[in-house]
Amino acid sequence: MWDLFISHASEDKETVVKQLADTLKKYGLKVWYDEFELKIGDSLSRSIDRGLAGSTFGIIILSKAFFEKGWTDYELRSLLSREVSKRDKIILPVWHGIKAEDVLHYSPYLADKFALSTDMGIDELAYKIMETVKPDVINSIGIQKMFRKLLPYSELKEIEPDHIYMEEKVRHKTLPNYFVIATKLICDVLGDITDMDYRDVLYDFARDADYDHEFLIWNAIACSYISFIRDNKIDFSDLDIKRDIFSFLLGYTTGAVKDIEDWQQRHPKLAKEQYYELMIRYAQNHDFIMEYSSDSMKYTYGKILEQV
């Protein structure tokens, strides 16, 4: 029901906690935060229990105030119980105005967990949290950039890409050689509707946390785009239709296109059935690429030849 439960002890609604919650919502996360969820007359304990039970992760904003409150201890123990029973990472600790010895005195278990700090700033903090909660979204640096450029055409207002912080550092000093060749092909396929330069795209791959997954997504987009245009005999000189096809694929890839009928009403260049076909085509290409990319090349060729 919720992606995140935020446990904190601040009563100031303009604190970093409120700013963090707002920023995470701009990413599209479903956040349980008392100001968002509690209404006058609600049972505090019942609402907290519902939020705890219905959230995938729990952010614990550890502060001096947190150590002094009773309900925060209840929230922490509930999250600890889930984490221990599921043997999976659920608790995401964030330090605010405290030191390691403060956490160690309060909870040796939390002191042993890698934590983020509000000192890094709200944008970077939200980015780091997204790397754990929604890595498929935050890893797509190239797709985020393309949303910025195509927003006037795609009208994907839900994404609010201008608000998305993108980490600038290069994570990978080297990339596989085939990236250079295959990336050039992808850029050429999409070149007449975008200004993608393969050197810039390679740089974006080097910044991605999981460049392999991002690379596979771009391959699925390019394959779906060019095969749909070919099979439906789209006029190759009609840049508006081709740009709309590409915008739809970007939106579908990130989950921004939630209602095809609504999209078709706002983008009547193609019939509703054609958008469904485009959606299916992308899903098939994505599944095919993901299936065979997980094996060695020798074994992959063997599997393909067996089906011929």
The tens digit of pLDDT for each residue in 104-141 reads 988 888 888 889 999 988 888 888 888 788 776 666 66
Name the β-bridge partners of 137. Answer: none
Q: Which residues are annotated as catalytic?
A: 75
* pLDDT in the model for residue 60: 85
- In this predicted model, which residue has the larger pLDDT, 104 or 197? 104
Return the structure tokens found at 130. Answer: 């997204």
Residue 158 has pLDDT above 60, yes or no: no
Most confidently modeled of 142-146, 224-228, 304-308? 224-228
* pLDDT in the model for residue 136: 64
Average pLDDT of the segment spanning 216-239: 93
Contact predicate 239/166, CB 8 Å: no
Percent of the chain whose pLDDT exceeds 90: 18
- What is the overall mean pLDDT for the chain? 77
Average pLDDT of the segment spanning 9-30: 75
Average pLDDT of the segment spanning 291-299: 55
Residue 282 has pLDDT above 70, yes or no: yes
Residue 147 has pLDDT above 60, yes or no: no
Alpha carbon distances (Å) from 136 to 34, 47, 139, 141, 209: 27, 30, 6, 10, 10
Which of 50-64, 152-166, 242-256, 259-273 is least confident? 152-166
Average pLDDT of the segment spanning 138-148: 62
Average pLDDT of the segment spanning 64-86: 76
Average pLDDT of the segment spanning 68-96: 78
Quick one: pLDDT band at residue 13, thresholds 50, 70, 90?
Answer: very low
* pLDDT in the model for residue 241: 94
